[in-house]
Structure 1
Amino acid sequence: MSSAGQNVKTVRKRRGLTQRELADASGVSLSTIRKLEQGDREGARLETLRKLAIALQVPTMRLVGAPREDGTSPQTSDRWAAVKSALERPPWASGVEDELPTVTGVHSALQEALPLFTGDRLTQLSVLLPSLLRDADALGPQGRTVRMRLLQLSGWLMVQTRQFPAAETALERALDHAADGLDKAATISVICWLRLRQGRLDEAFALAVGWADEIEPRMSRATPAELSTWGWLLVRASAAAIRNGQSTEADDALKLAMAAAVAMGREHAPENDFLRMFGPTTVKLKAAENASVTDRPDMVLRMAQRIPMAGLRPTSNNRNRHFLDVADAHAKMGQHADAFEKLEQIKADSPEWLPNQRYARDILSKLIKSRRTLTTDMRAMADAVGLPL
């Protein structure tokens, strides 16, 4: 099939049209559309594609060119423009009647904003964060702790939404403000996640292993914060290794992470920091993720049945990431209805989280390719996850 033919077919299915309906709407003959989509024609005249594009409500070049690369949409980049500007630390300026921010005030504002982070309330965060970041910068040396925490959260959010240069800025600044090795290691864990999402696997592995060795606690007297931070670095090391074809190293790191989790005893967030939530369930979720990465869908589904999910928040990124693994496993096993049901569950629980997940778009693409026509729900899901037309 030609590139144009594939593009016409993809967009037609997204619009919920049959070939005959597209022919009627565009004025292009049914036989031409069939031959184009079946690859019996090398291409089509620009005028023909223009007529099809008008009927499909897309630019003509969407049909002419190759499908767009999957990536962050311009809308997503625009949403975070003010946050990215604030992270660059422009001078803080107050009006004549403005009161200077205080450590207590900024700390209180950050505490009030935490549910927005844990609940993936991205629209509200994009509005709130610029002023909060500038207020934190205006605190001076006495605001070091609250500033570090805000920058760490902002970096995590930028990784989540694939704003990678902004994430680098936020996390490097967070490291500069870290009060001790444990704070630095917690930030390094987020940097490792950034490297994973960037595909820089060797760097992620080396960074995670190096810092895990640096902070390895004595198990007999380790605090929850030490166990959690060490465990997360090991989880990051395992994730990097499994993606880099180093299965032995991945298994070894995950075994050590489970030892930390067992010492924790349960899922726990030290100092009420949701980024450090860690325990046996977290490690089991990551073991299932490793099975997914190595293309063992049957094992993913078996492991999923044994993972206790009741205590995890509906908007937990660990939980949602696991559900994507389960959806992908169902899709690979030909259980398309079950796969789509998992996507629907994530969409209902975390509607602002899902569009930032390239993984979700990949899964839905598999489901769509298996069908001649799309249901209304499938078209809605395609729009929700930002599947390119």
Structure 2
Amino acid sequence: MSNAGENVKTVRKRRGLSQRELAAASGVSLSTIRKLEQGDREGARLETLRMLAVALRVPTMLLAAGPHEEDPSTATVDRWAEVRNAIERPPLTVWADDEPPTVAGVRNAAQEISPLFSSDEYDALSVLLPRLLQEAEALGPEGRAVRVRLLQLAGWLMVQTRQFTAAETALERALDDAADRMEAAATINTQCWLLLRQGELSKAYDLAVKWADETEPKISRATPAELSTWGWMLLRVSAAAVRNSQPGDAADALRFAKAAAVALGREHSPENDFLRTFGPTTVALKRAENASVADRPDLVLRLAEAIPATGLKPTSNNRNRHLLDVADAYAKTGQYTEAFDKLGQINNDSPEWLPNQRYARVILERVVKGRRTLTAEMRTMADVVGLPF
């Protein structure tokens, strides 16, 4: 029996529930619970554990066997090998070219490739980023600021593609070089996301709470950058809490984040950093995400109707995640054509982003199971997201 299965069985018995009663209370199928407790499954998705935890009135992580993550595909590992090398084994000597890199040159190059991150152009980044990271390292102390920025972006990219060890290294290096609290908070924001993707919900929650306290400004005289930074820390608190079956804490954090967004009055990107874009639309997207995590597809669809379509660029990471939540809500309510259309929209906007999303495979699997036959487009999409046979 897996540790998760043992934990579910122990808590279920403490609550005086049969497997059938737990299935009815949680919405998890009886066969899934049986297989989990009997050890016929290696583990369960965090969504399943969260549903069981809600029914058993315990934190999700009490049931989890440990961190839950998914390894990147072989193709992903091969594609990013040079980027990982540049992150994990930076050069020990200065650049050997006749014309060594300059701070201004590397900064300009970093600015030029920044749009490639926000538009998820992975092929180009896999070629350009390794050299740029190496040049930034060769700059020495004078290149600290541009090096931190590149490491933040590289860490975010590694989280996005589920290369978590490299992500940890990049973000730790960026944090070590941070010049002030605000620069450090930009890295912490991505570290919280990394912990969430690894299933380390309690660690993500504690880290986000600590930095939300650390960065809380006086609202009456806060700068837009301070409000954005604090708001994002609160969104990370909320995201960790809702996943760890702490709905009250999640709602409280989201309420404070909304207050920061109202004070800001608009979407704001400190220093044109798309990773820190924050405002009323971002909070609305995260409110819908929380509803999705809490298995409220009806609420997700209602909230989505009120979110302005032009609030964020179609290829932004938050926007794509929101469209997945909407697709999932459609699939859960039996609206399979609408669910598939949302997946198609994401694929049209971000064809290199979608294949890295396990969530997309879960949604498409629901669509496949809910239909008698599949269209040619659905079969193609199954290949795109890597849905197993």
Give the TM bin, normalised by the shorter chain. 0.7 to 0.9
Task: Quote the residue 2:333 is aligned against.
Answer: 333
SS at match of 2:193: helix
Q: Which residue of 1 aligns with 2:116?
A: 116
1:56-75 to structure 2, matched below 5 A, reads: 71-75=71-75
- CA change 1:143–1:94 in 2 (3 A) is closer
297-306 or 93-102, which deviates more: 93-102
Please give the residue correspondences for 1:101-140 in structure 2 after superposition, counting only pairs within 5 Å. Answer: 101-140=101-140
1:135 is matched by which residue type in structure 2? E
The runs of 5 or more residues in structure 2 that have no matched partner are 1-68
**Alpha-carbon distance between aligned partners in 1 of 2:149 and 2:259, rounded to the nearest angstrom:** 27
Q: Is the 8 A contact 2:361 2:386 kept in 1?
A: yes
Cα 1:291–1:261 shift into 2, 3 Å: same
2:18 paired residue number: none
Map Cα deviations across residues 53-75 of structure 1 (whole Å, 9 max, x no partner).
Answer: xxxxxxxxxxxxxxxx9642110
| Correspondences of 1:268-283 after superposition (within 5 Å) | 268-283=268-283
1:128-186 per-residue CA deviation (whole Å, 9 max, x = no partner) reads 11100000000000000000000001101110111100000000000011110111111
Contact 2:90 2:137 in 1 (8 A): no
Q: What are the superposed Cα offsets for residues 9-46 of structure 1, whole Å, 9 maximum, x if unpaired? A: xxxxxxxxxxxxxxxxxxxxxxxxxxxxxxxxxxxxxx
Q: For residues 244-267 of structure 1, what are the alpha-carbon distances to aligned partners after superposition, in whole Å with 9 as ceiling and x for unaligned?
A: 000000000000101111111001
Aligned to 1:226: 226
Write the letter of the residue equivalent to 1:213: D
What is the alpha-carbon distance in structure 1 between the residues aligned to residue 355 and residue 371 of structure 2? Answer: 22
1:372 Cα deviation from its structure 2 partner: 3.6
Q: Counterpart in 2 of 1:380? A: 380
Contact (CA 8 Å) 2:334, 2:370: kept in 1 or not?
no
Matches of 1:218 and 1:161 in 2, distance apart? 37
Matched to 1:129, the amino acid is: L
Letter matched to residue 123 of structure 1: D
CA distance in 1, matches of 2:91, 2:153: 21
How far residue 217 of structure 1 moved from its aligned partner, in angstroms, is 0.4
Q: CA deviation at 1:94?
A: 7.2
- Equivalents in 2 of 1:95, 1:228: separation in Å? 37
Instruction: Quote the Cα distance in structure 2 between the aligned partners of 1:124 and 1:162.
Output: 18
Quote the residue 1:299 is aligned against: 299
Does structure 1 retain, via aligned residues, the 8 Å contact 2:235–2:257? yes
Q: Find the aligned partners of 1:388 and 1:169 in 2 and give their Cα distance.
A: 31
Structure 2 match to 1:237: 237
The Cα offsets for residues 184-225 of structure 1, whole Å up to 9 and x where unpaired, read as 111101000000000000000000000110111001111111
Q: Does 1:204 align with 2:204?
A: yes
Contact 1:159 1:194 in 2 (8 A): yes
**Distance (Å, rounded) in 2 between the aligned partners of 1:208 and 1:358:** 24
Distance 2:201 2:318 in 1: 20
Displacement of 1:387: 1.6
On the 8 A contact 1:92/1:135 being kept in 2, the answer is no
Equivalent in the alignment of 2:86: 86
**What is the rounded CA distance, in whole Å, between the counterparts of 1:151 and 1:206 in structure 2?**
23
Which secondary structure does the structure 2 equivalent of 1:310 belong to? coil
Cα deviation for residue 270 of structure 1 reads: 1.4
CA distance in 1, matches of 2:145, 2:348: 36
The residue identity in structure 2 corresponding to 1:194 is L
Deviation at 1:97, TM superposition (A): 5.1
- Count the aligned residue pairs: 321
Distance 2:158 2:97 in 1: 33
Partner of 2:10: none
Please name the residue that 1:355 is paired with.
355
Kindly provide the CA deviation profile for residues 77-112 of structure 1, in whole angstroms up to 9, marking residues without a partner as x.
111111000102342667865311100000000000
Return structure 1 stretches of 4+ with deviation > 4 angstroms.
Answer: 92-97
Q: Post-superposition shift, 1:312?
A: 1.2
After superposition, the C-alpha distances for 1:263-306 in whole angstroms (9 at most, x for unaligned) are: 11001111111111000010011000011011110010000001
Q: Does the 8 A contact of 2:343 with 2:360 survive in 1?
A: yes
Distance 2:312 2:103 in 1: 32
C-alpha distance in structure 2 between counterparts of 1:357 and 1:274, whole Å: 20
Secondary structure, counterpart of 2:143 in structure 1: helix
Identity across the alignment (%): 68
Amino acid of the residue matched to residue 375 of structure 1?
A: T
Identify the residue that residue 182 of structure 2 maps to in structure 1.
182
1:384 CA displacement: 1.1
Asked whether the 8 Å contact 2:347–2:354 carries over to 1, the reply is yes
Q: Which runs of 5+ in 1 are unaligned?
A: 1-68
| C-alpha spacing 1:325/1:124, structure 2 compared with 1 (3 Å) | same
**Change in 2 beyond 3 A, CA 1:230/1:112:** same
Question: Which deviates more, 89-98 or 78-87?
Answer: 89-98
Q: Which has the larger radius of gyration?
A: 1
The letter of the residue matching 2:162 is R
Q: Structure 1 CA distance, aligned partners of 2:99 and 2:302?
A: 58
CA contact (8 A) 1:70 1:388 kept: no
